[in-house]
Amino acid sequence: MSYEKVKQAESISVGIKQTIKALEQGKAAEVIVAKDADPRYTTKIVSLSQEKAVEVSYVDSMKKLGKTSGIEVGAATVAILK
């Protein structure tokens, strides 16, 4: 389901740094987090999302999330932009 949201989104930010940037700037409408990503990184994004009242969805695979986002490597997080 969330993979489809990423595919259909007009604009996304891929990766931890870009997702944090989108959240801090108030541009993120929703954040997608890969369950197999390192929690040391994803925990900060989940808590920042909660602070900013941005919905968080989870997917199973970093590899599939990266591929869906149009990159050749895995992606821990993706922000769907407003």
- Tally the domains of the chain: 1
What is the tens place of the pLDDT at every residue in 34-66? 999 999 999 999 999 999 999 999 999 999 999
Do 56 and 23 form a contact (C-beta atoms < 8 A)?
Answer: no
CATH value at residue 28: 3.30.1330.30
pTM across the whole model: 0.94
Could you tell me which residues are beta bridge partners of residue 33? Answer: 58, 77
- Look at residue 81 and tell me whether its pLDDT is greater than 90: yes
In terms of residue numbers, what domain contains 67?
A: 2-81
Helices and strands in the chain, H and E counts = 4, 4
- Look at residue 1 and tell me whether its pLDDT is greater than 90: no
DSSP 37: S
